[in-house]
Amino acid sequence: MANVPSWPAPHDEQADESVPPVQLPLRGPVGSGRPGADERFLNRELSWLAFNDRVLELASEPGIPLLERAKFCAIVSTNLDEFFQVRVGALKDQIAAGFDRPTPDGRTPAQQIEDIMAHVPDFVERLDAAFVDELIPALAAEGVEIIHYADLSGEEIDALDRWYEERVYPVLTPLAVDPGHPFPYISDLALSLAVNVADPDTGDRRFARLKVPNVFPRLVEVATGRFLPVEELIAAKLDTLFVGMIVEEWTVFRVSRNADINLEEDEADDLLEAVESELRRRRFNKAVRLEVAHDVGPELLALLVRELELTHADVTYHRSLLDLSCLWAMMSIDRPDLKDEPWPSVNAGRLAAAEDADRPIFDVMRHRSVLVHLPYESFSTSVEEFIKQSADDPKVKSIKMTLYRSGGDSAVIRSLIRAAESGKQVAVLVELKARFDEATNVQWAKQLERAGVHVVYGMVGLKTHSKVVLVVRDDGDRLRRYCHIGTGNYNGKTAKIYEDLGLLTCDENIGDDAMELFNHLTGYSRTVDYSTLLVAPRDLRRALLDLIEHESSFGPDGHITLKCNSLADKEMVEALYAASATGTRIDLIVRGICCLRAGVPGLSENIRARSVLGRYLEHSRIYRFAHGNVIHGERVAGATGDAVYLIGSADLMPRNLNRRVEVMVPIEHPRHTAWLDQAIEFALDDDVVAWEMQPDASWDRIGPTNAFEPHPQERMYRWTVERQTAATSTRGSD
């Protein structure tokens, strides 16, 4: 295979055999300290927390510009919010239901909660240290300040007083708690002030809650480069809200609630209505975490914990601002010297070639498939353009696609609506159960239906996570099927910051399979035989296990490379351990959760696990098997040599392999496989900035310590630009 870096196994013929390998016990207390724990598997939740730790390290990277480092503080803060809403919420539901089944690593739900809450306080303190102790002083030295109310000048106070009276005071609503006013409902992730006030005449003391509305900026720019958190302004003006009362103390707090949606799909007459009902109910789910300022008074804290039905173990204490997602707003500051150098996306090589510039994209695809690598290559001039031309081309008869997350103002949705209004047959499977996008998808589903689109809401018991578009076009000589199959969502916003891959193709076998897939998704087809695509949950798990087993039969000559977001499936982990035992080399490029232990003598010494983090979210899935062209004794469709390459929507997790509709497509053209090889090589280079798992399951940062380069993403971008320049100059000679 071209451009694949060599990586000798640690225990080859030159190894020092005088020191026997240390065997990790299959059962025992090592690492977790829990009797009966299976040390071959890492806990999914703790692995995710380790991933967020790695992202947090980016906030302290001296080679990353300061505003970008602040952005990473915002990202890890939001990540932790979602972790509590989804994962901790689910664990608490399991405990409440009496579910006590341990995970593959041997932990019960209660033990997982205990271990999570043992880790989180240290994480919060490190986040506070990165932001308060490092970034705030460093930004101030560059003229960008986050200040306290006491730091304001008299002129700034006068200007803020006027702004407060005109814009803030009218929308504030203090809610008292007394015998006639019960403790108010605290909405999920809302920023609030808890206030204790006293009557100067009677001495009676009362508690009040004041929500900080999100109708004005969280960070108020009081002067160029000077920002005041709006809650400090409101706190300074509490006397205007509690007139005649004495404000004894106040603190900022925030509540995370369980964000799970429990749908009995087989009992729902109308899935759209059921999801809308569950969204309304979710607002009132139980609290799972309370965030407070580090100097909160014991009386206020005790009241909040009691009224929210939490324990003190559910509380996190913060020296920094609560909810650092507000730091995203600072990216609008006009300070290019404090931000990353822009990397403008280029057009995919064949689409950018001079002779193809004015040709319909269908002509280009009919000549040869196009592999698009986002965001190095442009989403708008490739995938969006494909759907736009499909909507506007009178030769197009029908468009079918899956929508998981499409975002707000979506050019893709506008194209689909235009296509339906022009009389084309348009069918869209909108996944209403996409986490945190349920409300957006409900609205898109309604809008699409009003335009005449045939909208399907998914399959009972399964989420449709695949990324597939199927266009049928009358080319004159015959009807042809044009497809896009990708690793990422049809979302123009995330396509600028998520690294993803997609194949635009007119391949007949892929088109036939895509047609069968949509017939299965929208109709009652039960038995589907796919000639090329690998589809979960029907056959993807078995196919991947067969590919791993087949590759392991080549022993030290075998090589498996798996690039994904998460690896948490026990059966996959076991298969990779078995392959390692045969001497097969295994490279894992796993951004987030990795429940496999890499590099452990006697267990996984031939497995290397690496995590790449940077300005783009690594989101593509690439599965490469050096000798993977045979499954069940038959040649894999699309395999042109010894190796097989798969890209698609599926991670190696139980939910992807068992409970979601996922699609993987073989990549066969030599230029495309060479591109994938190059992307893998950049990620595995010895000198790049990345993180590698150690035998004790910790992740060590590798590469230069005084710079954030060379970085795999920068190398990929520079290489892509060079390729695009060459493709344009050769006028599509490929």
Q: Please report, as a single letter, which amino acid is at residue 620.
A: S
Local confidence band at 15 (pLDDT 50, 70, 90 cut-offs): very low
For residue range 509-554, list pLDDT tens digits in order: 999 999 999 998 887 666 678 999 999 999 999 999 999 999 999 9
E strand or H helix at 361, and its extent?
helix 361-367
- Residue 680 has φ and ψ, to the nearest 5°, of -65, -45
Better pLDDT: 294 or 283: 294
Q: 345: which 2 tokens? A: 């996306």
- φ/ψ of 374, rounded to 5, equals -90, 155
Whether 25 has a pLDDT exceeding 70, the answer reads: no
Do 518 and 553 sit in the same domain of this protein? no
Residues 501 and 636 in one domain: no
Residue 79 tokens, joined: 């990540």
Q: How many residues does the chain have?
A: 734
Closest CA to 77 of 227, 254, 282, 228: 254
Three-state secondary structure string covering 138-184: HHHHCCCEECCHHHCCHHHHHHHHHHHHHHHHHHCCEEEEECCECCC
Which residue's structure tokens are 């497809």?
483
| CB contact set of 92 (below 8 Å; sequence gap of 6+) | 109, 113, 258, 286, 288
pLDDT score, position 259: 84
What range does the domain containing 569 cover?
534-703
Are residues 597 and 685 located together in one domain of the fold? yes
What CATH number does residue 236 fall under?
A: 3.30.1840.10
Answer whether 435's CB lies under 8 Å from 408's CB.
no
- CA dihedral sign of residues 300, 301, 302, 304: positive
Q: How confident is the model at residue 22 (pLDDT cuts 50, 70, 90)?
A: very low
Cα distance between residue 680 and residue 689, in whole Å: 14
Residues 6 or more apart whose Cβ sits within 8 Å of residue 351: 361, 364, 370, 381, 382, 385
Q: Is residue 27 situated within a structural domain? A: no
| Position 162 in a domain | yes
Last residue of a domain, one of 314, 338, 362: 338
Do 666 and 645 form a contact (C-beta atoms < 8 A)?
yes
* Mean pLDDT of the chain, nearest integer: 88
Residue 588 pLDDT greater than 60, yes or no: yes
Is 447 domain-assigned?
yes
Confidence of residue 353 (pLDDT cuts 50, 70, 90): low
Same domain for 576 and 683: yes
Within a domain: residue 87? no
Residue 105 lies in a domain: no
Predicted confidence (pLDDT) per residue in 608-619, tens digit: 999 999 999 999
- Residue 462's SS3 state is strand
Q: Whole-angstrom Cα distance, residue 172 to residue 230? A: 12
Q: Is 729 within the bounds of a domain?
A: no
Beta-ladder partners of 391 = none
Question: Does the pLDDT value for residue 16 go beyond 50?
Answer: no
> How many domains does the chain fold into?
3
Cα–Cα distance between 625 and 676 in angstroms, integer? 12
385 confidence band (pLDDT: 50, 70, 90): very high
Dist. CA 223–CA 217, nearest whole Å: 14
Confidence at residue 109, expressed as pLDDT on a 0 to 100 scale = 94
* E-strand stretches of 544-638: 559-564, 585-590, 607-611, 617-618, 622-625, 630-631, 634-635
Q: Are residues 478 and 353 in the same domain?
A: yes
pLDDT computed for residue 545 by the predictor: 96
Q: Lowest mean pLDDT: which of 65-74, 258-267, 360-369, 589-598?
A: 258-267
pLDDT recorded at residue 1: 31
pLDDT band at 639 (very low <50, low <70, confident <90, very high): very low
Q: Determine, yes or no, domain membership for 303.
A: yes
Q: Grade residue 76 by pLDDT with cuts at 50, 70 and 90.
A: very high
Report the pLDDT averaged over residues 192-205: 92
Q: What average pLDDT does this structure show over 122-145? A: 97
Radius of gyration of the chain (CA): 28
Please give, one letter per residue, the 3-state secondary structure of 69-101.
HHHHHHHHHHHHHHHHHHHHHHHHHHHHCCCCC
Residue 331 belongs to a domain? yes
pLDDT reported for residue 621: 98
Question: Burial level of 649, CB count in 10 A (0-12/13-18/19+)?
Answer: buried
State which of 338, 372, 402 marks the end of a domain: 338
Does the structure show a pLDDT above 80 at 194?
yes
Q: CA–CA separation, 562 vs 547, rounded Å?
A: 12
> Do 161 and 204 belong together in one domain?
yes
Query: For residue 398, what are the CA distances in angstroms to 369, 419, 525, 665?
Result: 20, 9, 20, 22
What is the average pLDDT across 562-576?
A: 98
Cα–Cα dist 423/397, whole Å: 9
Q: Residues 391, 492: one domain?
A: yes
Cα(571)–Cα(577) distance, integer angstroms: 10
Average the pLDDT over each of 172-176, 269-273, 333-337, 577-581 and give the range with the smallest value: 269-273
User: Which CATH number do you get for residue 561?
Assistant: 3.30.870.10
680, HSE (Cβ side, Cα atoms, 13 Å): 31
pLDDT in tens, 141-185: 999 999 999 999 999 999 999 999 999 999 999 998 876 678 888
Pair of tokens at residue 88: 């901790």
Give the residue from 338, 363, 384 where a domain finishes. Answer: 338
- Pair (408, 472) in one structural domain: yes
Distance CA 638, CA 331 (A): 44
Q: How confident is the model at residue 314 (pLDDT cuts 50, 70, 90)?
A: very high
In whole angstroms, give the CA distance from residue 498 to residue 494: 6
pLDDT of residue 275: 60
pLDDT at residue 629, rounded to an integer:
66
The pLDDT score that the predictor gives to residue 526 is 65
When mean pLDDT is compared across 391-400, 430-439, 566-575, the lowest value belongs to 430-439
Distance CA 383, CA 196 (A): 56
Residues 209 and 175 in one domain: yes
- What are 699-733's pLDDT values in tens digits? 999 999 889 999 999 999 999 999 888 766 665 44
Catalytic residues: 465
Predicted pLDDT at 371: 96
Report whether pLDDT(9) > 50: no
Rounded to 5°, the CA angle 173-178-182 comes to 70
Q: Burial level of 534, CB count in 10 A (0-12/13-18/19+)?
A: buried
Residues 330 and 367 occupy one common structural domain: no
Reading the block at residue 553, the tokens are 């039969």
Average pLDDT over residues 64-74: 98
Same domain, 581 and 446: no
pLDDT tens per residue, range 404-454: 887 777 899 999 999 999 999 999 998 876 666 667 777 878 888 999 999
Q: Across-strand partners of 372?
A: 502
Q: Which H, E and C letters describe 627-676, residue by residue?
A: CCCEECCEECCCCCCCCEEEEECCCECHHHHHCEEEEEEEECCHHHHHHH
pLDDT, tens digit, for every residue of 94-113? 999 898 899 999 999 999 99
Do 321 and 419 belong together in one domain? no
Percent of the chain with pLDDT over 90: 76
Q: How confident is the model at residue 64 (pLDDT cuts 50, 70, 90)?
A: very high
pLDDT in the model for residue 159: 95
Separation CA 213–CA 192 (nearest Å): 9
